[in-house]
Amino acid sequence: MHDIKRRAFMRGAALGALAFTVGGVEVLITPGEARAQGVPFRLLKANEGETIEALGETLVPGARKAGIAHFIDHQISVPAEEALLQARIFNVRPPFANFYRAAVGAIDRGSEKVFGRKFAQLSSVEQAELVNQMRQNKIEGWTGPPAAFVYTLLRTDAVDVVYGTMEGYAALGIPYQAHIEPEKRW
Amino acid sequence: MANEKVDVVIVGAGASGSVYASVLAKAGKKVVLLEAGPDWQLTDLISSEMWGRRIRPAGAPFRLEGKNPFGYAGQAGWGVGGAALHYFANHPRFLPNDYKMKSEHNRGLDWPISYSDVAPFYDRVARDIGMAGDAKAEEIWRPAGDPYPMPPMKTFRHGEVWLKGFESLGIRMVPAPVAMNSTDYKGRPACIYDGWCHVGCPTGALANPVVTYLGEARKANAEVRALCTATRVLTNQQGTRVTGVEYYDEKKQRQVQEAGVVVLAAWSGQNSRLLLNSTTDKHPKGLANANELVGKYMMVHSIAGIAAMFDEDIQNHLGTIGAQYMSYDRYGKTSYKGAFGSTYITCGAAQKTHDFANSRPDLFGPELHAYMKRAARGFTRISMFGEELPSMENRIELISDKDEFGLPLARLVHSFDQDAVALWTANVEEGQKAAKAAGAKEAWSGRVIPTTHLHGGTIMGTGAADSVVDSYGQCHELANLYVAGPSIFPTEGASNPTYTILAISLRGAEQLAAKWSTVAG
């Protein structure tokens, strides 16, 4: 009981949510909610968002619905020191948008080389095959950030939105046990 | 723009800088700490892997090179508390053999001091900040000292499952010493074992600098200037004394803080970079670098991380990110035939979903999801930290790329030598044996050697011919310039460094306070 009381005391003591603009008003919603509400991207182009969603879904099922593209779009639009991206841990040099644009371009070029179409247009079997080759740096003529690094970083982004949230923990049956809960179960 | 001159300006409000600030402010000195990151409050420390990344550096002040590049951003800190705001609070001490490697093995370097010089400070730090553990149990490996102020932390099944495996190998495991509260201590609450230590503990149960030495420093009127990036250490015209620090404030405005004494207590790489960037006509190679040793002897620990899956619910979400059990039974420098260096063995760290995902980086799609479900129930791991020898080739050096203030960035070149690779390999083999004997259903290790704990760059020694600072951190070349933190370690042992950082910082700060007028002039 003592512990539960302490957790309750700490709850809500800080803000931990992402601000998206909906109808001209800033609201605190999750990336998944932003996607569901059709919130426009800040920096990503539509085709870049499609590629990221398709890759994210291939890497971690559920990443598309969880809003991986909106998450990345939001995070590359804020100052690097405010970003929650694994890119900062992997020592990517800001602005992080440069990396993601280069990565998306590399994925689509690699996809066209191997299958003749952009990544989002591939079947799920083809997408998995390409990702498996990316993971092992096996795509010949790949240009841009190293394929295995793109795999690793985007995989972490997908893990973030699917398994890194309070909902993700709940889906795996793991008690989250926050000292301070993120807002919006984020 | 010049600020009013103070007694001491400290660069970095992390573990070592906080100790210096506390000791000197309590001694009545006017202290200013310059911290590149924010002034975090405990309420900023949200329990989330993603939100926890905010207390790490963003950006790339270091280009990471060599065969085994160092994992910089995950290790370093950004903001008050430094890396110790998100550290795991494992507090093993260095053992007597760490201080005398050269004398005992004719390898590496000696420290200019012995274990007995540091031991009293270990005991004092334990009382100052609060530590839990079983000192008596550790005395099978080290000289007796004071008991820890708190009993060991609770243990959980995901740590206990390893004991049988280690026992079968003759490895004795004892309660791990940690800087966490197993009971209420000095007004801070006992730990509630939720396992979010690595993103910053907001309850105060983990002894990070914000709730220990930095808090004391503030009470004694030390001033913390957050979001202030130090760029150069300044000297007088003759080049004989340092006069203060140039920095850029929150508004990116250039400032100068003059001081009688400067203490560099930034991250190991940054201490070297700052000195190398502080060239003058009298110091054309950078400050304290006439012997060209600044930036040399960078060292890291390898981690033999053995992941294992058990066929039972071992409740891996419970506990702390610190270890439950530890052993020094492979700490002898020649514990393994064909390898050299100490190993520190730990088990029982709580696991989060990112740990599961990172433990099988090859998996994606439905296979990853199936694995995550299994890992939530039965995944655990051990970490065996391995020492490497100091080498001039592992170094910090400036590059032509500049930061936002126009100062050269640096590269950190790091490669493990044959001894370090052999030690890591031996540890992996032994760890896998332990997992098998413990009854793990599966056990595996990655093929890339993980790196952790950066040391070196401004090492201590007996004189200017072989080192940058003396055993207190005082520069041989400039008497009123001190360097603090693991950058002054001449060898790195295999123990997590923070306890020793705090102990030698306390020793250095008290020496500085005691001979203040001689140093500050």
Give the ranges where B221-320 is alpha helix by DSSP (H). Answer: 268-277
User: What is the DSSP track for A8-24?
Assistant: HHHTTSS----EEEETT
Asked whether the beta carbons of B297 and B459 are under 8 A apart, the reply is yes
pTM (whole model) above 0.90: yes
Residue appearing with tokens 């004494």: B261
Asked whether the beta carbons of B342 and B333 are under 8 A apart, the reply is yes
CA–CA separation, A75 vs A52, rounded Å? 14
Say whether pLDDT at A183 is over 80.
Answer: no
Say whether pLDDT at B59 is over 80.
Answer: no
Cα dist from B395 to A91, B99, B431, B455, whole Å: 18, 22, 30, 11
> Which of the 8 DSSP states describes residue B98?
G
Q: How many CA atoms lie within 13 A of A137 on its CB side?
A: 6
| Interchain proximity B60–A93, CB inside 8 Å | yes
| pLDDT band with cut points at 50, 70 and 90 for residue B521 | confident
| Interchain proximity A91–B192, CB inside 8 Å | no
| pLDDT band with cut points at 50, 70 and 90 for residue B359 | very high
Q: Is A91 helix (H, G, I), strand (E, B) or coil?
A: coil
B58 closest CB neighbour out of A88, A151, A179: A88
| Interchain proximity B195–A177, CB inside 8 Å | yes
User: What is the DSSP track for A24-53?
Assistant: TEEEE--HHHHHHTTPPPSS--HHHHHHHH
Which of B364, B380, B454 best tests the A interface by mutation, with the highest count of A CBs <10 A?
B364
Residue-level pLDDT at A184: 66
| pLDDT band with cut points at 50, 70 and 90 for residue B263 | very high
CATH of the domain at B507: 3.50.50.60
Asked whether the beta carbons of B245 and B9 are under 8 A apart, the reply is yes
| pLDDT band with cut points at 50, 70 and 90 for residue A3 | very low
Residue-level pLDDT at B123: 98
Residue appearing with tokens 């920095």: B247
| pLDDT band with cut points at 50, 70 and 90 for residue A1 | very low
Q: Is B327 helix (H, G, I), strand (E, B) or coil?
A: strand
CA–CA separation, B170 vs B327, rounded Å? 11
Which strands sit side by side in the sheet containing B395-402, from one edge to the other?
B62-65, B408-413, B395-402
In terms of DSSP bridges, do strands B395-402 and B408-413 run parallel, antiparallel, or are they unpaired?
A: antiparallel
Percent of chain B with pLDDT over 70: 99
Residues A108-128 have a mean pLDDT of 98
B505 in a structural domain: yes
B451 in a structural domain: yes
A174 closest CB neighbour out of B51, B60, B376: B376
Q: Is B307 helix (H, G, I), strand (E, B) or coil?
A: strand
- For residue B182, the chain A residues in CB contact (below 8 A) are none
| Interchain proximity B58–A60, CB inside 8 Å | no
Q: Does ipTM surpass 0.90 in this model?
A: yes
B1 in a structural domain: no
Which of these, B466, B428, B459, lies nearest to B445 by C-alpha position?
B428
B200 in a structural domain: yes
Phi-psi region of B338 (alpha: psi -120 to 50; beta: other; left: phi over 0): left
Asked whether the beta carbons of A74 and A42 are under 8 A apart, the reply is yes
Q: How near does any CA of chain B get to the CA of A55, in Å?
A: 10
- Both tokens assigned to B403: 């930061």
Say whether pLDDT at A14 is over 90.
Answer: no
Q: How near does any CA of chain B get to the CA of A179, in Å?
A: 6
The whole-chain average pLDDT of chain B stands at 97
| pLDDT band with cut points at 50, 70 and 90 for residue B35 | very high
- For residue B354, the chain A residues in CB contact (below 8 A) are 156, 159, 163-164
Say whether pLDDT at B25 is over 50.
Answer: yes
Residues B202-226 have a mean pLDDT of 98
Residue-level pLDDT at A26: 83
| pLDDT band with cut points at 50, 70 and 90 for residue B385 | very high
Structural domains counted in chain B:
1
The amino acid that residue B311 corresponds to is: D
Residue-level pLDDT at B72: 82
Structural domains counted in chain A:
1
Span B80-134, pLDDT tens digits: 999 999 999 999 999 999 999 999 999 999 999 999 999 999 999 999 999 999 9
| pLDDT band with cut points at 50, 70 and 90 for residue A11 | very low
Residues B429-458 have a mean pLDDT of 97
Residue-level pLDDT at A23: 83
CA–CA separation, B386 vs B336, rounded Å? 12
Residue-level pLDDT at A124: 98
Residues B252-279 have a mean pLDDT of 97
Q: Is B15 helix (H, G, I), strand (E, B) or coil?
A: helix
The amino acid that residue B194 corresponds to is: D
Q: How near does any CA of chain B get to the CA of A129, in Å?
A: 11
Say whether pLDDT at A129 is over 60.
Answer: yes
Asked whether the beta carbons of B45 and B202 are under 8 A apart, the reply is yes
Domain holding B84, by residue range, is 6-520
Say whether pLDDT at A186 is over 80.
Answer: no
Residue-level pLDDT at B74: 85
State which H helix or E strand residue B89 sits in.
none
B393 in a structural domain: yes
User: What is the DSSP track for B398-417?
Assistant: EEEEE-TTS-EEEEEE----
User: What is the DSSP track for B249-262?
Assistant: -TTS-EEEEEEEEE
- Both tokens assigned to A123: 């079947």
Residues B493-514 have a mean pLDDT of 98
- For residue A16, the chain B residues in CB contact (below 8 A) are 46, 48, 51
How far is the first Cα of chain A from the last one, in angstroms, to the nearest whole number? 25
CA–CA separation, B272 vs B457, rounded Å? 6
CA–CA separation, B9 vs B468, rounded Å? 20
| Interchain proximity A59–B373, CB inside 8 Å | no
CA quadruple B389, B392, B393, B397: dihedral, nearest 10:
130
Residues B319-328 have a mean pLDDT of 98
Domain holding A166, by residue range, is 2-185
Asked whether the beta carbons of B347 and B173 are under 8 A apart, the reply is yes
Say whether pLDDT at A8 is over 70.
Answer: no
Say whether pLDDT at A15 is over 80.
Answer: no
Residue-level pLDDT at A25: 86
- Range in A4-8, B201-205, B485-489 with the lowest mean pLDDT: A4-8
CA–CA separation, B32 vs B349, rounded Å? 36
Say whether pLDDT at A4 is over 80.
Answer: no
Between helices A68-77 and A96-115, what is the axis angle to 10°? Answer: 140
Percent of chain B with pLDDT over 90: 98
Q: Is B26 helix (H, G, I), strand (E, B) or coil?
A: helix
**Could you tell me the sign of the dihedral formed by the alpha carbons of A61, A62, A65, A68, in that order?**
negative
| pLDDT band with cut points at 50, 70 and 90 for residue A12 | very low
Asked whether the beta carbons of B451 and B386 are under 8 A apart, the reply is no
Give the ranges where B278-417 is alpha helix by DSSP (H). Answer: 353-359, 366-378
Say whether pLDDT at B252 is over 80.
Answer: yes
- Range in A18-22, B294-298, B340-344, B496-500 with the lowest mean pLDDT: A18-22
Residue-level pLDDT at B61: 83
Residue-level pLDDT at A182: 82
